[in-house]
Amino acid sequence: MTAELFEDMAPEKGAQTVMAPGAMLLHGLARAVDAALLRGLEDVIASATLRHLTTPGGYTMSVAMSNCGPLGWVSDRSGYRYEALDPLSVRPWPVIPPCWMDLAVEAAVQAGYQRFQPDACLVNMYEPGAKLSLHQDKDEKDFSAPIVSVSLGLPATFLFGTGSRSDKPQRHRLVHGDVVVWGGPARLAYHGVAPLADGEHPLLGRRRINLTFRRAG
Ligand code: MD3
Ligand code: FE
């Protein structure tokens, strides 16, 4: 009998799961520093407010987004791209908080990437019902760099497919403190997030925050 069979029992902190070739889940790696990460979040969103972007097709995204670092990911009627200035403030994005950077670099090292130098961090905020449709992350210049993602707050069902949109995705539960490093053959996989189930998290309330660290430029 394994602990994961019980719904509320995640693998222990320090455990690592290979979700697919190139996709390494570092269970609970962010949990020990969660309070510091959340202070960083307050600073980032005080300078660059969370906002619901418009897709090129004219839809409003249900996930609210912001960025920090030299480059930030934006979407509007003209397309998806990375920008050095926040289009709302017309000022540079805030710096990546040092404790965020330390965590992202440590996660990359644990997954075998010794030289990860992120220049962009996308902040995603989900409220109950918010979702992210299946997509690939291909607006970055160099696909040899991994993407590191950090999940905080309410749990989510993460959908993880292949390089082909029509393949049925696997479902994985990501909980507060989980960190995933996506590189190699996983880097261009289709992925998304199922509509967030309602709940109450002790630190974040009715929200999920996801941080993704990228080498964009
Ligand atoms: C697999 N975010 O911001 S994080 C995104 O939970 C995004 O907010 C989701 O997809 C979220 O683009 C998923 C996990 C993730 C991030 C990037 C990936 C998985 C990935 C890039 C390639 C493959
Ligand atoms: Fe993505």
Compute mean pLDDT per 10 residues along the chain, 217 residues long, and list them: 58 88 97 98 98 98 98 98 98 98 98 97 99 96 97 97 90 97 96 98 98 98
**Topology of domain 3-214, per CATH?**
Jelly Rolls (2.60.120)
Q: Residue 62's pLDDT is what?
A: 98
Q: Residue 10's pLDDT is what?
A: 75
Give residues (CB < 6 A) around ligand 1: 122, 124, 132, 137, 147, 149, 180, 182, 186-187, 189, 191, 193, 210, 212
Q: Which ligand is nearest to the CA of 208?
A: 1
- For the chain, the domains span 3-214
Strands 170-174 and 16-20, sheet pairing: unpaired
Atom of ligand 1 nearest to the CA of 214: 17
pTM: 0.95
Return the residue matching tokens 């949109």: 165
Atom of ligand 1 nearest to the CA of 160: 1
The token pair that represents 198 in the structure block: 């309602």
Q: Residue 5's pLDDT is what?
A: 53
Q: Residue 1's pLDDT is what?
A: 47
Residues 159 and 156: their CA atoms lie apart, in Å, by 9
- Distance set, CA 210 to CA 8, 54, 114 (Å): 20, 19, 23
